Amino acid sequence: MRRSPAPFVRAELYGEDEPALDDPAELFHEASKLYPALAVRQAAGMARLGASDELQDVSSRATRRNAQLPSHPLPRPLRPRCSLWAALDGRRSKREFSGALDRQRLATLLDAGYGVRRRDRRTVPSGGALYPLELYVLEHGLFRYDAELHALEEHDDADPWPAFVAACPVPEVANGAAAVILVLAVFGRSRFKYGQRGYRFTVLEAGHVVQNVVLAAAALDVAALPFGGFYDAKLDALVGADGVEESVVYGVVLGGSE
CB 153 within 8 A of CB 71: yes
The pLDDT value given to residue 182: 98
* Sequence-distant (≥ 6) Cβ neighbours of residue 165 within 8 angstroms: 171, 174
Q: Which domains does the chain have, with CATH numbers?
A: 32-257 (3.40.109.10)
The pLDDT value given to residue 95: 85
Closest CA to 226 of 113, 117, 104, 77: 113
The pLDDT value given to residue 53: 66
* Residues of the chain where predicted confidence (pLDDT) is lower than 50: 1
End-to-end CA distance of the chain: give it in Å, rounded: 52
Question: What pLDDT digit, counting tens, does each position of 187-216 carry?
Answer: 999 988 888 899 999 999 999 999 999 999
**CB-based burial label for 239 (10 Å; 0-12, 13-18, 19+):** buried
- Quote the radius of gyration of the chain (alpha carbons, Å): 20
The pLDDT value given to residue 100: 87
* Angle 27-32-38 from CA coordinates, rounded to 5°: 115
Helix pair 103-114, 196-220: axis angle to 10 deg:
140
